[in-house]
Structure 1
Amino acid sequence: MSSARTPVGPGETHPARATAISIAAAVGGFLFGFDTSVINGAVESINDRFTLGPFASGFVVGIALIGSAIGAWFAGQLADKLGRPRVMLIGAVLFLVSSIGSGIAFEAWDLALWRFVGGLGIGIASVIGPTYISEVAPAHLRGRLASLQQMAIVIGIFVSQLSNNWLQSINDSASADLWLGLEAWRWMFLVGVIPSLVYGILSIGIPESPRFLVAQGKDSAAEKVLARVLGETPAKIQQRVADIRQSLHREDKPSLRDLKGPRLGLHPLVWVGILLAAFQQLVGINVIFYFSNTLWQAVGFDESQSFLISVIGSVTNVLVTVVAILLVDRVGRRPLLLVGSIGMFLSLATMALAFSQAVITTGADGKEVVSLPGAWAGIALVAANLFIVFFGGSWGPVMWVLLGEMFPNRIRAKAMAIATASNWIFNFIVTETFQPLADVSLTVAYGLYAAFALLSFFFVLAKIPETKGKELEDMTLDTHVRTPKQSRT
C-alpha cells in the first residue's frame, strides 16, 4: 500500500499553467472538428470535378473516418513508446500533408489517399489530447480541462463552416477558380494547413506527461513537470511521483495483453469504454452536422437559410459545451450523462414523430423532395436544436473526460486508443447508413437514434462510474463498478 495522500486544495495549484498546457493539447480536437466538417462544403464540387457516383463519393468522404479509426488504434502504442507530445507532432504532420495533398489532388483516388492520411492524423490527435490532458491536469480541474477537447472539436466545426461559406461566396460557387488557378473547394482543404502548423508548434513546446516519464524511469523529470503544473512543495511532488510509480509497477512490460479479460476477450472496463464511445455516435449526432443542409431544406428553408441554421446549430453547440465545462467538476460525470440521455431521447423521438408527418413530392429534377407541413416543420427545428443542446452539454464533452481518466495508468493509452477507435468506427457506420435509412424513412432513422439514446441512459446507470475528484493513481481495473471507492486521503 502506498502512504496516505494529502489532499490538494485548489489554492495549491497553478490552474493557469495547467489550462495553457491543456489548451495546447486540445488543438488536436480543432483539427478533428475541422476535418469532420470541411468535406461538407466541398463534396458537391468534388463529385462534379471527378464525375463521382454515390458510392465513390461516399468512399471519398468516409475513408477519412477509417483512417481515423486506424490512427486511433495505434496511437496508444505510439504514445507509450515515443511519448505524448511527439505523437501529437506526428498527428500534426499527417494532417498538414493531407491538407496540401487534398487541395492539389488531380484524381479521386489520390484525394481519397490524402483523406485517409489526414484521418490517421485526426485519429492520433483524438486519442492523445484527452489522454495527455487527464495526465497533467489537477484532479479538481481535470473534468473541465479534459472537456476542452470537445470545445476544440465544436469550434473546429464552426470555423470550418465559416471558412467554407466565405470561400464559396467569393465567386458564388465552390467550383469557381480563386487564387493560383485553384478552385474554391481546394482552398477549403488548404486552409487546414494553418491549424496543422499551430498544433505542431504547440506540441513541441509542451512538457511530457509525468506518468509517461515515471514509466520511463525519469522520476526527476516527472517531478519538474508536476512542480511546473501544480506548484506544490517538493515533498508533495515526490509523494505524487511515488504514487504514480506504484500504479505503474509490474514485472513485465505493458502490452495489449493487459487489456484481456475473462469474457469476450477484453477486460470489462475496456468494454465499458468501447460502449461509451459507441453510444456517443449511435445517437446520430454527426447526422445532424454532416447532413444538416438536407435536414433544414426538408423543413422549408432554402440553401442559404439552411447554412445559417447550421451555423446557429454550431454556435449552440459551442455555448452548451461551455456550460458542460463549468458543470462537469461540480455536478459530476454521471448526472450530466443521464440528463443528456433522457433529453436526447425525447428530442430525437419528437423528430421521428415530426417526420412521420412528412409529405413526399417529386421535384423538377425528378428527385423526391421531403417537406413537413404546418407546425411540424417548426417542431422538428426546435427538437433538432434541443438535441444539440442535450448532446453538447453532456455526451459530447463528458465521453472524452471519462475515457481520459477512467483507465488505470498502465493501460490508459492503449485502452483509450481502442475506445476511440470504436468511436470512429461507429461514426463511419452511422454516417454510411443514414442515407439508406433515410431512403426508407426519416422516421425510422431518427427513431433508431432515439432508441440508442434511451439505451445509453440504462448503460450509464448500470456501468459508468463517477470519477469526479479521483486521482488517476486511484483508478483500478475495478473502476467499472458503478460507485467506486473514493480517493484515499
Structure 2
Amino acid sequence: MNEGNAAKVNMAFIAAIVAVATIGGFMFGYDSGVINGTQKGLESAFDLGSLGIGVNVGAILVGSSIGAFGAGRMADIIGRRGVMMLSAILFLVSALLAGAAGSSAIFIIARIVGGLGVGAASVISPVYISEVTPAAVRGRLSSVQQVMIISGLTGAFVANFVLARYAGGSTADLWMGFPAWRWMFWLQAIPAAIYFLALLVIPESPRYLVARGQDDRAHAVLTKLFGSAEATRKVADIRASLAADHHRPQLSDLVDKASGRIRPIVWTGIGLAVFQQLVGINVVFYYGATLWEAVGFSEDYALQTNILSGVLSIGACLATIAMVDRIGRKPLLLIGSAGMAVTLATVAYAFSTAVTGADGAVSLPGNNGIIALVAANLYVIFFNMSWGPIMWVMLGEMFPNQIRGSGLAVAGFAQWIANALVSVSFPSLVVWPGLATAYVGYALFAAISFFFVRAMVNETKGRELEDMVG
C-alpha cells in the first residue's frame, strides 16, 4: 500500500473512532439539555417551588462532579474505553428511571445516576480523542466533541418541542397515559443504547496501554492509526515521557515533588474549567425556556428560541473547527471572553427594563425584547466559538502523559462544581436580586476570564502530547 492510500485509510479509521467517542459528547449534551422544557411537569408532578426546581435540575450536577473526578482516575485503571462504556450504561439507566420517577427523591436519584455518566463522558471523551489523533489536526478533531455536545442539547430541545407540541403542552398526556415530559426523558434511552454498542468496535487508547505496560497492544493500535514505522516511534516516545516517573499514574503526581506544591498547569486547568461555567452558559442550556417565559415569551416560542440557540451554537463550533489549528487556542479564548463580556452586559441592560403589567405578565418594553434575544444569541455564538470547545480541547491535551488522567479528574470536578453553583442558584436569583443583576455577574466573570487567559494559558497548537510539560 502506498503512503497516500495509507494516509487515507488512517484518517478514515481515526474519523470513525472519533465519531464513536463523540457520541459521549452527544449524550452529555442531551442528558444536560433534556431538563430544559420539563420543569412545568416536574413542578406539577412533585409540587415543587423555585428551590425545589433548582435542586431537581441541579441533581445531575452532583453526579457529574463525582463522575468527572472518578472517571479521570478510573480511566488510568480500566482504560478510556472502559469508562465510556460505563457512562453509556449510566445514561440508559438514568433515562428509564427519570421518566418513570414517582417522586422527587426518585427523580433526583435518576438524575444523579445520569450525572455520573455525563461527568465521566465530559472528561474522558476529549482525552481519548487527543490520544488517538495527529497533533496537526488534534484541535480540529477534539472540537468535534463540543459540536456533539451542542447537537445533543439541540436534539433534546427539538425532541422536547415536538413532544410538547404534539401533546398540547409538556404536562399534557402523550402516549400510554403518560405526560409528554416523561417521554422527553425516555427518548434518551435510544442514543444511550447506540453509544454502548458503538463503543464495542473502537480500540483502547494507546497511551493508556503503554502506561499499563501493554506495549504490543499499543503498537497494534498505533499501526492501524499511523502505520508500523510511526507506531514504533510513538510507542518509544510515550514510554520515554513516562520514564521519569517509575510508577503508574496517581493523584499525588499533581504535586511537584521538588517544591511540594501543586503544579501550575493544574491551576491553569482548574481556572479554565471554572471560568467556562461562571460566565453562565448553562443558565441558557438548562433554563432557556424558563428564562424567556420570565420576560414574557410563551412556552411554545420559548422552546423555539432554545432550538435557534442550539443551531447557532453548532454553527459557531463548526467555525472553531476550521480555525483552531490555524490561529490557535489562546486567541480564540481571548476573543470569546471579550465578546461574552459585551453581550452579557447588553442582555443585563435589556432585562433591567422589564415591566410587569396589571395582569402580572412580564414584558420588555419597546425593542428591548429583540435586543435581549439578539445579544443572548450572540453570547451563545461567542461561547461556542471559544470557551465551549476550546476548554475541552485544552484539558484533553495540556497535561503531561503522567498526570493527564489525574489532571482531568481535578479540573473536571471543579468544572462541575462551578456548574452546580451557577445552575442551582439561578431560580433563586430570578426572584432576587433579579435577572439583570445575575447577568451583570456573568459579564464580570467573562471580563475576568480574559485576563486569566492572558496571564496563565500557554498555546498548545501543533505540539505533541509527549512534549507537554507542567
Give the structure-1-normalised TM-score.
Answer: 0.91
1:83-135 deviation digits (Å, cap 9, x = unpaired):
11111111111111111111212222111111111111111111110010000
Alpha carbons 2:55, 2:424 under 8 Å: kept: no
User: 2:121 is paired with a residue of what secondary structure?
Assistant: helix
Q: Which secondary structure state, in structure 2, belongs to the residue aligned with residue 208 of structure 1?
A: coil
Equivalent positions of 1:111-150 (< 5 A) are 111-150=107-146
Answering whether residue 17 of structure 2 is matched by residue 21 of structure 1, we say yes
Aligned to 1:45: 41
SS at match of 2:178: coil
Question: What amino acid is the match of 2:330?
Answer: R
Q: Any unmatched runs of 5+ in structure 2?
A: 1-5
CA contact (8 A) 2:341 2:446 kept: yes
| Distance in 2 of aligned mates of 1:172 and 1:134 | 45
Aligned position for 1:242: 236
Shift of 1:148: 1.2
* Superposed counterparts of 1:368-379, under 5 Å: 369-379=361-371
Is the Cα contact below 8 Å between 1:158 and 1:311 reproduced in 2? yes
SS at match of 1:178: strand
The residue number in structure 1 matching 2:392 is: 400
Structure 2 match to 1:260: 255
- 1:76-91 to 2 correspondences below 5 Å: 76-91=72-87
Paired with 1:240 and 1:79, the residues of 2 have a C-alpha distance of: 20
Q: Alignment partner of 1:440: what SS?
A: coil
**Aligned counterparts of 1:104 and 1:417: Cα–Cα separation in 2:** 32
Tell me, in whole angstroms, the C-alpha distance in 2 between the residues paired with 1:68 and 1:362: 43
Pairs within 5 Å for 1:228-307: 228-230=224-226, 232=227, 234-249=228-243, 250-261=245-256, 266-297=262-293, 300-307=296-303
Structure 1, residues 255-296: CA drift from partner, whole Å, max 9, x if none?
Answer: 111012488963211111011011111111111222222433
Separation in 1 of the partners of 2:167 and 2:62? 33
Query: Which stretch has the larger CA shift, 40-49 or 253-262?
Result: 253-262
**Alignment of structure 1 residues 334-373 onto 2, 5 Å:** 334-361=330-357, 363-364=359-360, 369-373=361-365
Correspondence 1:224 to 2:217: no
Amino acid of the residue matched to residue 378 of structure 1?
I
* Paired residues of 1:75 and 1:124 also in contact (CA < 8 A): yes
Letter in 2 for 1:130: P
Q: Secondary structure at the match of 2:34?
A: helix
Answer 1 or 2: which has greater helix percent. Answer: 2
Aligned residue for 1:80, secondary structure, equals coil
Are the structure 2 counterparts of residues 113 and 297 from structure 1 closer, same or farther at C-alpha, using a change threshold of 3 Å? closer
The match for 2:381 is 389
**Are positions 1:432 and 2:432 aligned together?**
no
Whether the 8 Å contact between 1:175 and 1:183 is mirrored in structure 2 is yes
- Provide the alpha-carbon RMSD of the alignment: 1.9
Deviation of 1:322 (Å): 0.6
**Deviation (angstroms), 1:180:** 3.2
* Contact 2:340/2:383, CA 8 A, preserved across alignment: yes
Tell me, in whole angstroms, the C-alpha distance in 1 between the residues paired with 2:58 and 2:260. 29
Q: Secondary structure of the residue that 2:325 maps to in structure 1? A: coil
2:295 and 2:354 in contact (8 A); partners too: no
Measured after TM superposition, the shift of residue 467 of structure 1 is 0.5
Query: Percent of pairs identical after alignment?
Result: 48
Does residue 1:215 correspond to 2:211, yes or no? yes
Helix, strand or coil: the match of 1:454?
helix
> Matched residues in 2 for 1:59 and 1:244: separation?
44
User: In the alignment, is the contact (CA less than 8 A) between 1:321 and 1:392 conserved in 2?
Assistant: yes
Number of residue pairs matched? Answer: 463
After superposition, the Cα gap between the structure-2 partners of 1:60 and 1:150, relative to the gap in structure 1 and judged at 3 Å, is same
Write the distance in 1 (CA, Å) between the matches of 2:359 and 2:290. Answer: 14
Partner of 2:463: 470
CA distance in 1, matches of 2:67, 2:175: 33
Q: Give the Cα–Cα distance (whole angstroms) in 1 for the partners of residues 52 and 391 of structure 2.
A: 32
Structure 1 residue 174 displacement after superposition: 2.3
Q: TM-score when scaled to structure 2?
A: 0.94
Structure 1 gaps, min length 5: 1-9, 478-489
165-174 or 395-404: which moved more?
165-174
Q: Partners in 2 of 1:51 and 1:379 — Cα distance?
A: 35
- Which residue is 2:442 aligned to? 449
Residue 416 of structure 2 aligns with an amino acid whose one-letter code is: W
Q: Deviations over 1:123-170 (max 9, x none)?
A: 111111001000001101110111111111100011101111122222
State the SS of the aligned residue for 2:175.
Answer: coil
Indicate whether 1:55 and 2:72 are aligned.
no
C-alpha distance 426-151 of structure 1, shift in aligned 2 (>3 A): same
- 1:456 and 1:25 mapped to 2: Cα distance? 29
